Amino acid sequence: MMALLSSSAATPPIRRHFDRRRRLLSSPIHLFRRLILPYPKPNPTCSASWRELGSLPFLCAPQIRPSLEVAGVAGVSPAAFRFCQQEPLALDAASLAVKECESDDELLAAVRLRVRTFYDEFDQSSGDQDQRRHLEEREFEALKDRIDGKRIGFKRVSCINATLPLSPLLGHANGLCSACTFSQNGEDRVVVATLDINQCLKLADELTGKRPEELGAGLMRAYLSNVCVAKELQRNGLGFAIVSKSKAVARRWGINDLYVHVAVDNEAALKLYGKSGFVYENEEPAWQARFLGRPRRFLLWADLSQIELVV
C-alpha cells in the first residue's frame, strides 16, 4: 500500500476519477445546467418562448454566452441569443409629440408607464395584478390632485409626456402598448416617456434647493420628478426631449432655477442631466438614504435664466 501511494509510474484510479470529474464540472454544459436552469422568473413580454429564454439572465453574460454558442447546448436556439443582443426599437421622430398632458386618459397612461418602470417586481399572478391596479389608481389620484392645485406646498404641477402613434413599428413592445395607450382626437397613441415638473417649496423626503436665495423666493424654483423612459425605446433621445420641454415650461412659469434628484450610481441619468445643463449642488447623507431605504442621491441644478422665453 505504501508503495502504491508513493509510486509515480501510473495515475491512481481515484485520482483519474477526480481529474475526469473536474473536467466535467468545468465544461460549458455543466455551467449552463448549474447556473442557468434553476428556476428563472418568466417575462410574459418576451417575443420568444420561455423554453428558449429560460436562461435569459445568464445568457447575456459575456463570459458565458460564447462558451454556450460553441458548445451548442441543447434546447437553446439562436433566437435566445438574438434576444439578448436585441437593439432598442427604432424611433419615428416625425411622429413623436412632446407636450404637456391634456387629458385624464393620457395621464393614466403616463402613470402606468411609471408603475411599469419603477415597480417591475409585479408578475402576472392575479394578486400582483390587483396590487398593480391599486397602485396605478393611487398614483393617478395623487398626481391629478397636484395638477389641480389640491396639494399644499405645490403652486403649479404639470405632467409632460412624449407620445407616439400606435403602429406596427411598436409591434415588439406588446406590454408597453397594452398598458400605456390612450386615445386623442380619434387616434391611439402610446406614452413612451414622462416626467412631472413641480413648482413648489420642496419635494417630500428630498434635498431642498437653495436657489434663488432671496427671502420668500422658495416658490420661484421647480423640481423634476418621476422621470422615466420606456425600456424598449431607451437611447433614442426621449429623456433629453422631455427634460428640454420641461425647461421651456418652467421658463414660461417664470422659473429660473430647476432642480432634479438622481441616485449617485445612476450613470445614465447623470449623463442625461449633464447633457441637459444640470450641475451638482448638494448630496444626501448616507444615514438619511439608509433611513429611507433607498440609494443615496445627488441634488442637481440648472440655470434657466439664459433660456429664451417662448410664449
What's the pLDDT tens digit per position in 278-311?
Answer: 999 999 999 999 999 999 999 999 999 988 776 5
Dihedral through CA 7, CA 9, CA 14, CA 17, nearest 10? 160
Count CA atoms closer than 13 A to 2's CA, side-chain side: 0
Catalytic residues: 273
> What span, in angstroms and rounded, lies between the C-alpha atoms of 97 and 80?
34
> What span, in angstroms and rounded, lies between the C-alpha atoms of 301 and 294?
21
pLDDT of 65 higher than 70: no
Place of cell 509510486: 7
- Return the minimum-mean-pLDDT range out of 74-78, 122-126, 176-180, 275-279: 74-78
**Residue with the larger pLDDT of the pair 241 and 33:** 241
Give the Cα-Cα-Cα angle 120, 125, 126 (nearest 5 degrees): 115
What's the pLDDT tens digit per position in 6-56?
Answer: 333 444 444 444 455 555 555 554 444 444 444 344 444 333 443 443 443
* Secondary structure E strands in 44-128: 97-100
Residues 4-22 as b/e (b if ≥16 CB within 10 A, e otherwise) read eeeeeeeeeeeeeeeeeee
Report pTM: 0.70
Residue positions counted in the chain: 311
> What span, in angstroms and rounded, lies between the C-alpha atoms of 215 and 253?
19
Domain ranges across the chain: 90-303
> Quick one: pLDDT band at residue 161, thresholds 50, 70, 90?
very high
Q: Of all residues in the chain, what percent are helix, strand and coil, respectively (each to 5)?
A: 45, 20, 35
Helix (H, G, I), strand (E, B) or coil at 190: strand
Residue 270 has which C-alpha cell? 447623470
> Quick one: pLDDT band at residue 125, thresholds 50, 70, 90?
low
CATH architecture of 90-303: 3-Layer(aba) Sandwich (3.40)
Q: Which of 68-72, 118-122, 241-245, 291-295 has the highest mean pLDDT?
A: 241-245
Contact 176, 44 (CB under 8 A): no
> What span, in angstroms and rounded, lies between the C-alpha atoms of 51 and 65?
17
pLDDT of 62 higher than 80: no
